[in-house]
């Protein structure tokens, strides 16, 4: 689950990671109040107004701006709140901004060289260990750094049985070219950051930039935090950070009815039981010349109610030109699924795309009869390839 920068910073702060301080605001008036409060707290008169959307590259899209007085805070907040922010990471329509984070300005006026670093914590899937990835080239696209100057990206892998060791934190500070106080601050920063990552059950931290001020403070200026969905049950406070305005509406609905649905760009809707079969079905659709419109795992109990819910979700996507239902009847019997499909189809009444059903497993032959005799625009198939060919035929 992705969360906003301000929420990510809250989590970091709770583990003692130094952050650029800020207060979230939903209106220009609230932004001014936030700025006043921050001035009392930090002494800075300058503030940065930052759009809160689940996308990076906000600076480039005009979603991060410096305000030198309260009037500018109000003006800039007014511009940013409500805008459709387009960044290299959003679609062409952009993302609607509902809130801004008003922060202290940590790039001190006259500070000729604040240092910006890149740092992320994530799982290395090859070794099965967490790693800290970091670079002296912060503040810019890490993808560009990786492409043009890969030798400037370092990694530090952590042994799960002992955790991040002191020498590793010091090596990171050393490789970032730090010495003296900055070196000490960086080892503290890295240590707290890693603890935060592990304790919060996160799947990704990306801090770009990590800033070193001229007085050697090391802090997170940005925070992209992805939490592990499977661990949310033990972090009720994090689970409450979900902002469904940022999520795909159909995916939100699917989660509410307990279906595993991922929206995709293609034209063939898929309804499958089992994640592995769902992946194989998507491959099959591609081979047949189509593009899957979604990933959908209806799970083990494909009864009429679930099938109907699945139909509803798939049909919300206007790009869907055909639906391929691919069910393996192992625990659930194929004839019951077939009846479920027929009932759901009749219940809904307005399904006007062709449907190809492949039922394989227990009672597959009875299922085929039910489908074939239903009088509906549903074609049955028993073999995988046969199903693919039928999909291709209806798309042609």
- Catalytic residue positions, numbered: 118, 206
CA distance 1 to 263: 15
Q: Are 310 and 286 in contact (CB under 8 A)?
A: no
* DSSP secondary structure letter of residue 136: S
Residue 223 C-beta: closest distance to ligand GDP, Å: 8
CA distance 153 to 175: 10
Please, which residue, 38 or 164, has the CB nearer to ligand GDP?
A: 38
Question: Does 137 sit near Mn ion (CB under 5 A)?
Answer: no
Residue 246 C-beta: closest distance to ligand GDP, Å: 14
Q: Are 271 and 326 in contact (CB under 8 A)?
A: yes
The correct pick among 90, 135, 187, 208 for binding Mn ion (CB under 5 A) is 208
User: Which residue is at the shortest CB distance from Mn ion?
Assistant: 222
Q: Are 345 and 375 in contact (CB under 8 A)?
A: no
> 3-state class of 238 per DSSP?
helix
Please, which residue, 20 or 99, has the CB nearer to ligand GDP?
A: 20
Residue 222 C-beta: closest distance to Mn ion, Å: 3
Structure tokens at 247: 């999520």
Structure tokens at 151: 């030798």
Chain-centre distance for alpha carbon 103: 24
329 binds, among ligand GDP, Mn ion, none (CB under 5 to 8 A by kind): none
Residue 249 C-beta: closest distance to ligand GDP, Å: 24
Contact set with ligand GDP (CB under 6 A): 20, 48, 50, 56-59, 64, 66, 103, 105-107, 139, 208-209, 221-222
139 binds, among ligand GDP, Mn ion, none (CB under 5 to 8 A by kind): ligand GDP
Please, which residue, 56 or 329, has the CB nearer to Mn ion?
A: 56
Phi, psi (5° rounding) for residue 153? -110, 125
Structure tokens at 144: 């560009």
Please, which residue, 57 or 274, has the CB nearer to ligand GDP?
A: 57
The stretch among 19-27, 220-228, 311-319, 383-391 that binds Mn ion (CB under 5 A) is 220-228
- What region does 360 belong to: left with phi over 0, alpha with psi -120 to 50, or beta? beta
Footprint of Mn ion (CB under 5 A):
208, 222
């Amino acid at each position: 689950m992705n969360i906003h920068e301000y929420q990510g910073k809250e989590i970091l702060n709770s583990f003692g990671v130094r952050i650029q301080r800020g207060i979230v605001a939903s209106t220009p008036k609230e932004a001014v109040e936030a700025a006043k409060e921050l001035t009392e707290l930090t002494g800075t008169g300058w503030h940065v107004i930052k759009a809160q959307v689940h996308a990076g590259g906000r600076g480039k899209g005009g979603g991060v701006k410096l305000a030198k007085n309260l009037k500018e805070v109000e003006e800039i907040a007014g511009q940013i709140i409500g805008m459709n922010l387009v960044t290299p990471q959003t679609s062409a329509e952009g993302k609607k901004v509902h809130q801004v984070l008003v922060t202290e300005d940590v790039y001190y006026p006259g500070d000729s060289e604040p240092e910006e670093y890149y740092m992320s914590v994530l799982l290395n899937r090859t070794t099965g260990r967490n790693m800290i990835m970091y670079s002296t080239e912060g503040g810019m696209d890490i993808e560009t750094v990786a492409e043009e100057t890969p030798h400037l990206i370092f990694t530090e892998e952590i042994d799960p049985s002992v955790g991040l060791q002191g020498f590793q934190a010091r090596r990171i500070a050393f490789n970032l070219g730090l010495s003296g106080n900055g070196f000490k601050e960086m080892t503290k920063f890295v240590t707290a950051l890693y603890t935060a990552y592990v304790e919060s059950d996160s799947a990704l931290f990306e801090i770009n930039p990590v800033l070193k001020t001229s007085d050697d403070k090391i802090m997170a200026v940005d925070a992209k935090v992805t939490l592990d969905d499977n661990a949310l049950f033990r972090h009720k406070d994090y689970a409450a950070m979900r902002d469904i305005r940022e999520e795909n509406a159909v995916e939100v609905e699917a989660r509410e009815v307990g279906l595993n649905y991922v929206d995709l760009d293609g034209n063939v809707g898929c309804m499958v039981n089992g994640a592995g079969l769902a992946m194989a079905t998507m491959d099959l659709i591609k081979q047949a010349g189509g593009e899957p419109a979604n990933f959908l795992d209806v799970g083990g109990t494909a009864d009429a109610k679930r099938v109907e819910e699945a139909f509803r979700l798939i049909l919300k996507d206007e790009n869907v030109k055909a639906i391929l239902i691919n069910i393996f009847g192992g625990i659930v019997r194929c004839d019951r699924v077939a009846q479920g499909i027929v009932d759901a189809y009749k219940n809904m009444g307005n399904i006007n795309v062709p449907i190809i059903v492949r039922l394989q497993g227990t009672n597959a032959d009875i299922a085929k009869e039910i489908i074939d005799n239903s009088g509906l625009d549903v074609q049955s198939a028993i073999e995988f390839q046969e199903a693919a060919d039928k999909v291709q035929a209806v798309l042609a």
